């Protein structure tokens, strides 16, 4: 049986690289950037005034001048003016510093009478104060964003500031999420006592969308060989990625590995030494499609989706991996099976203290309702059984 690390590597090795595509910047939020974004100009592009007030020359202040005739007004967006000796230019936040001025006095510190600005008694103006110097944030040509970053609202600001209207991003894979099982009944339809509400398919789609993958459609197929063959075969024709749930264990109706094999999907592995999600199956279709067959128990499905499907899609999209995150166990935990344990946790943070992970008990891997309110899960290595309070563990946020 594969270890979790070996399974992850086998998946990443099998993933293709998705193509890049130029999209309108407004439509790029949440997508993976596939180009460098470099500064169009110095930032700020001119010595930028940071206060509403007056612009004066510090040489005049040193000569003990306290009253300045107002020579002109310069607002943000106005062309740069030139200051005359002994005078002031009324200035607004965002304006470029008038030529000859090197000192801004905020409007709160002056009084105005007959177009003469007088400094408040005792106010000491300082040279260069309230001036944001040209190029002090960054210089023209500086790389502000590098390929592999998922575009955030802050990045949208940067891309616009560089004058771009289009940006290269990763194309979105076409994903089909398939729930299998005779017992499953979708919300909105009458359910009988022996049946189960279908929850995995919608939850997997929601998780993929939350991670930036929106081209997802769902299908439900009952456990019948011919039907599974026909419908999964159809999905393989259209999709880059299949995410199945259910039908991969040892039950008589667990036909998925067999059907996928018959459809030419080459098995990469079946089973990982982990709990939950041990029966997970992964393979590659004839056209390079990634096929993730996740166990149907809802906690297993969600953990496997987060642990394997999301990172695989991120890698194929060219997204840089995030630095691993760790949290400390808030209480001791014992786990006897010689398997990697993915333990759902609620995070507790305190000022100055470590990030604590409080285990949340799930009543078997069918108990998905207990996952609400969890922030993710921690990974406890299979070599150990007893984890004392304070043990640092790898954290995976949902």
- Out of Mg ion, ligand AMP, none, what residue 245 binds, judged by CB under 5 to 8 A for its kind, is ligand AMP
Give the one residue of 51, 55, 95, 184 binding ligand AMP; rule: CB under 6 A.
184
317 binds, among Mg ion, ligand AMP, none (CB under 5 to 8 A by kind): none
Q: Which does 257 bind (CB under 5 to 8 A by kind): ligand AMP, Mg ion, none?
A: none
Q: To the nearest whole angstrom, how small is the minimum distance from the Cβ of residue 19 to ligand AMP? A: 31
- Show the site string, 364-383: x = touches ligand AMP by CB under 6 A, - = not: --x-----------------
d(CA 296, CA 305): 11
Q: Which pair of structure tokens corresponds to residue 290? A: 């990634």
Closer Cβ to ligand AMP, 179 or 317, answer by number: 179
Among 169, 200, 317, 319, binds ligand AMP (CB under 6 A): 200
The answer to whether the CB of 37 falls within 8 A of the CB of 162 is yes
Distance of closest approach, residue 224 Cβ to ligand AMP, in angstroms: 14
Q: Does 298 bind Mg ion (CB under 5 A)?
A: no
Least distance between Mg ion and beta carbon 228 (Å): 11
Least separation in angstroms between CB 3 and ligand AMP: 22
Q: Is 246 in the site for ligand AMP (CB under 6 A)?
A: yes
For 24, what's the count of Cα atoms within 13 Å in the CB-facing half-sphere? 2
* Residue 145 · residue 36 · CB < 8 Å: yes
- Helix, coil or strand: residue 132: strand
Helix (H) or strand (E) holding 312: helix 310-316
User: At a CB cut-off of 8 Å and minimum separation 6, what does 254 contact?
Assistant: 223, 247, 248
Q: Binder to Mg ion among 98, 246, 276, 283 (CB under 5 A)?
A: 246
For residue 359, the partner it binds in Mg ion, ligand AMP, none, with Cβ less than 5 to 8 A by kind, is: none
Among 44, 147, 181, 212, binds ligand AMP (CB under 6 A): 181
SS3 314: helix
User: Is 201 near ligand AMP (CB under 6 A)?
Assistant: yes
Question: What is the three-class DSSP state of 215?
Answer: coil
Q: Which of 171, 209, 249, 391 binds ligand AMP (CB under 6 A)?
A: 249
User: Cα–Cα distance between 33 and 283 in angstroms, integer?
Assistant: 28
Q: How far is CA 323 from CA 3, 210, 267, 317, 320, in A?
A: 21, 20, 30, 17, 9
Q: What does the chain come to in residues? A: 398
Residue 340: both structure tokens together: 């990697």
Under the criterion CB under 6 A, does residue 295 sit at the interface with ligand AMP?
yes
Rounded Cα distance between 339 and 385, Å, is 9
In contact, 247 and 296? CB cutoff 8 Å: yes
Number of chain residues interacting with Mg ion (CB under 5 A): 4
Q: Which residues bind ligand AMP (CB under 6 A)?
A: 179, 181, 183-184, 196, 198-201, 245-247, 249, 251, 295-298, 366
Q: Which residues bind Mg ion (CB under 5 A)?
A: 181, 246-247, 296
């Amino acid at each position: 049986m594969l270890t979790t690390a070996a399974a992850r590597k086998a998946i990443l090795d099998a993933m293709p690289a998705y193509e890049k595509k130029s999209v309108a910047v407004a439509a790029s939020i949440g997508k993976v950037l596939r180009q460098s974004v470099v500064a169009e100009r110095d930032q700020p592009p001119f010595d930028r005034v940071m206060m509403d007030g007056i612009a004066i020359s510090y040489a005049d202040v040193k000569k003990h001048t306290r009253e300045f005739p107002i020579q002109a007004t310069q607002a943000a967006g106005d062309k740069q003016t030139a200051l005359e000796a002994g005078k002031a230019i009324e200035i607004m936040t965002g304006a470029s510093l008038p030529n000859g001025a090197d000192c801004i006095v905020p409007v709160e510190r002056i009084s105005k009478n007959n177009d003469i600005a007088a400094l408040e008694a005792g106010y000491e103006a300082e040279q260069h104060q309230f001036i944001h110097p040209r190029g002090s944030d960054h210089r023209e040509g500086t790389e502000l964003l590098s390929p592999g970053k998922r575009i955030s609202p802050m990045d949208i600001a940067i891309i616009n500031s560089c004058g771009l209207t289009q940006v290269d991003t990763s194309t979105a894979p076409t994903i089909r999420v398939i729930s299998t099982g005779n017992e499953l009944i979708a919300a909105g339809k009458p359910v009988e006592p022996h049946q189960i509400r279908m929850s995995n398919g919608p939850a997997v789609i929601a998780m993929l969308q939350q991670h930036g993958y929106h081209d997802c459609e769902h299908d439900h197929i009952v456990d019948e060989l011919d039907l599974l063959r026909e419908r999964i075969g159809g999905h393989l024709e259209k999709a880059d990625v299949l995410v199945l749930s259910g039908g991969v264990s040892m039950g008589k109706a667990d036909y998925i590995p067999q059907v996928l094999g018959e459809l030419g999907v080459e098995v990469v592995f079946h089973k990982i030494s982990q709990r939950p999600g041990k029966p997970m199956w992964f393979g590659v279709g004839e056209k390079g499609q990634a096929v993730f067959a996740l166990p149907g128990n809802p906690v297993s499905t969600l953990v496997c989706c987060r642990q394997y499907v999301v990172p695989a899609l991120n890698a194929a999209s060219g997204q840089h991996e995030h630095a691993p995150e760790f949290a400390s166990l808030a209480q001791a935990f014992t786990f006897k099976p010689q398997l990697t344990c993915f333990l759902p946790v609620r995070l507790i943070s305190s000022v100055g203290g470590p990030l604590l992970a409080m285990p949340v008990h799930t009543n078997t891997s069918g108990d998905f309702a207990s996952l609400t309110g969890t922030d993710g899960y921690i990974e406890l290595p299979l070599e150990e059984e007893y984890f004392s309070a304070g043990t640092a563990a790898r954290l995976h946020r949902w």
